[in-house]
Amino acid sequence: MLMDFGIEPEEFKEQELLDWFKEIQLGQLTKITEGIFAPWAFYKKDFQEIGGHDELYAPQSKEDSDIFNRFQLNGIKFVQTWGGCVYHMTCRGSRFADGAKRNPDGEVFMKNRETDEWLKQNQKATREFIRKWGHFCKHDQFLKPIIPSKYDVGFIIKNANLQLIEVLEPWCSTVYYDENETRSFRYADYIEKEDTSFDLYEKFKPYDNEKQNGILVEIDGNNFTQQDFQYIQQLPEIIASDDQIELGTFLLGGLQVTITNLITTEKELIICKK
């Protein structure tokens, strides 16, 4: 609901908000669902128990999705009221670049109006989220997190190029590469330019290195398709959905997948150790 009760904190018209809230009678709604989104409240002890927000996403973007996942994995049940109302100053914020009064005209539609700085940070935070969790942010219709299992996945890549490495790297724990195959780029060049808190030098291994991942995916860059990429993004859910899945090797589109163990580690992500 778009209402103007002030853009700056010192302009906040609290009584007008309260009068309007009584008038629309939103508070009479008694519907309760299990979901979570801003604004949200929590017990201090629950926040401290999981180590608070993860600095991986500083200064912003995806830190809320991360902590919602961790709350849920730690046994927190979300209670979402449909009869509450909070004045949220979304018409100003980090997305905009027009000075202290970020969005003086109060425009709601934000796409294509974001700063380059915000877009860059949002992309970085999204890639960090995938590296940590192995999937995009997922939730149901009430925004309750959906948390696929986190497997130890290694990509064995032949006929790679820089674009393919940029696309694939966040989606696995280990990249096995053959640098002798290509003269178009060096893997070290990618590692040095990628803005991440993860140790990519530790992540990239020679092609003939001993493979110790629970799940290995062999990828041929010459034949890699968009459908193959969709399989990679959905791999944890594909594996978890098959009650009859066994250890061994099978084909998934143009990918060869070998499973040596199905150990999952998402619960190890509950506590932020930084």
Nearest to 78 by CA among 53, 44, 43: 43
Question: What percent of the chain shows pLDDT beyond 90?
Answer: 69
Q: What is the chain's length?
A: 274
Residue with the bigger pLDDT between 217 and 118: it is 217
- The answer to whether residue 52 scores a pLDDT higher than 80 is yes
Question: What percent of the chain shows pLDDT beyond 70?
Answer: 89
What integer pLDDT is reported at residue 10 of this predicted model? 87
Is 180 in a helix, a strand, or coil?
helix
- The answer to whether residue 27 scores a pLDDT higher than 90 is no
Assess contact for 2 and 108: CB atoms under 8 A.
yes
What integer pLDDT is reported at residue 251 of this predicted model? 94
CA distance 118 to 112: 11
The confidence band for 185, taking pLDDT boundaries of 50, 70 and 90, is confident
What integer pLDDT is reported at residue 99 of this predicted model? 43
Read off φ and ψ for residue 199, nearest 5 degrees: -85, 95
Average pLDDT of the segment spanning 32-49? 93
Average pLDDT of the segment spanning 57-69? 95
pTM of the predicted model as reported, rounded to 2 decimal places? 0.89
Assess contact for 87 and 12: CB atoms under 8 A.
yes
CA distance 124 to 130: 10
What's the chain's Rg over C-alpha atoms? Answer: 23
CA distance 257 to 158: 14
Number of Cβ within 10 Å of residue 69's Cβ equals 23
Read off φ and ψ for residue 77, nearest 5 degrees: -100, 130
pLDDT in tens, 133-183: 999 999 999 999 999 999 999 999 999 889 999 999 999 999 998 876 656
DSSP 6-27: -SSGGG--HHHHHHHHHHHTGG
Assess contact for 69 and 133: CB atoms under 8 A.
yes
pLDDT in tens, 81-112: 999 888 887 566 666 654 444 555 555 555 56
Count Cα neighbours of 26 within 13 Å in the Cβ-side half-sphere: 13
- The answer to whether residue 270 scores a pLDDT higher than 90 is yes
